Amino acid sequence: MTTIDAGILDVREAGPADGTPVLLLHGFPQGADSWDAVVPALTGAGYRTVAPDQRGYSPRARPGARADYRLDALVADAVAVIDDRAGGRAHVVGHDWGAAVAWRLAARHPDRVRTLTALSVPPAAAYARSLVTTRQVLASWYFVAFQVPGLAERFLAAGDGPYSRRFTAALRRSGQSRERARRDAARFADPAALTAALNWYRGVLAGRPGPEDPPVPVPTLFVWSDGDIAITRQATALVHRHVSGPYRYAELRGVSHWIPEEAPDELAELLLGHLAAHPG
């Protein structure tokens, strides 16, 4: 596993220098700017936000092997950012793949985490169980398609202008706006950037699976939206079993998978309430 120095990750910081830090972890196929609509509410309340472009998304932090994108490596990057930019402890918020990183971070490094807020994606064990017990496996077809080297690249590659029309169309079908879909597709005009992002999926099957994570002991908020076509309601049903600390579930109605940008005000209200209730 390649170790990444936190200093080579592109990180956006905002808010007062002495504010309690909030680490914001983006998902696929986005970047730190996916939090831009939420950040003002957090900084306005006195928090300092720390939002990295994660491994593979930061151009200088783009190792080539799929094993370099195993979840433990991604969590190690988050720990490094917390130590480097957040004084060793932060509220942690993750969406999509960022939520997967946040779940493991809170489970295995609770000393670094004041609170956890996970959006859309349940913890790894709950997700894996849903694949064999619910229709989640049908919603996760793309996960299998992404495993074949070169196949997804050929289908999604940005080769017909500043962004790929195929990639944009796929994001539009998932509920993303046209402007944001084009923005996210354009991130992968560099083929190496697309392969690195896909390696987050491929890293899951690189090497032997490790032990199941312990229950998360820190205060946890899990937010799911009923317009999510990637994560089914059934996949969220057992999340509470993976949290031993205070736990709250919130559901957003009429919102797609892209919660931070589609419902930033609702999310910010939930976040600020959660952080205020559990200052850590």
What's the pLDDT band for 162 if we cut at 50, 70, 90? low
Report CA dihedral (159, 162, 164, 165) to the nearest 10 degrees: -120
Domain annotation covers residue 46: yes
Q: Which residue has the higher pLDDT, 64 or 90?
A: 90
| pLDDT (average), residues 106-124 | 97
pLDDT digits (tens, 9 = 90+) for 212-245: 899 999 999 999 999 998 888 888 888 999 999 9
Lowest-confidence segment of 186-190, 223-227, 252-256 by average pLDDT: 186-190
Domain annotation covers residue 230: yes
pLDDT digits (tens, 9 = 90+) for 29-77: 999 999 999 999 999 999 999 999 999 999 999 998 999 999 999 999 9
Domain annotation covers residue 189: no
| pLDDT (average), residues 169-194 | 91
* CATH at residue 223: 3.40.50.1820
Q: Which of 30, 48, 71, 21 is nearest to 188 (CA)?
A: 30
Active site annotation includes 96: yes
In three-state secondary structure terms, 82 is helix
Predicted pLDDT at 4: 82
Domain annotation covers residue 159: no
The number of domains in the chain is: 1
Predicted pLDDT at 65: 92
DSSP state of 256: E
Active site annotation includes 84: no
Instruction: Please give the Cα distance from 153 to 148 (Å, whole number).
Output: 9
3-state helix, strand, coil in the chain (%, to 5): 45, 15, 35
Q: Can you give the C-alpha Rg of the chain in angstroms?
A: 17
Domain annotation covers residue 191: no
Instruction: Please give the Cα distance from 106 to 274 (Å, whole number).
Output: 16
Which residues span the domain enclosing 42? 6-134+211-277
| Catalytic residue selected from 96, 228, 274, 278 | 96
Predicted pLDDT at 240: 94
Domain annotation covers residue 201: no
Domain annotation covers residue 253: yes
Length of the chain equals: 280
Domain annotation covers residue 40: yes
Instruction: Please give the Cα distance from 216 to 242 (Å, whole number).
Output: 6
| Catalytic residue selected from 91, 95, 242, 257 | 257
Sheet with 11-14: strands ordered across = 11-14, 48-52, 21-25, 90-95, 113-119, 220-227, 247-256
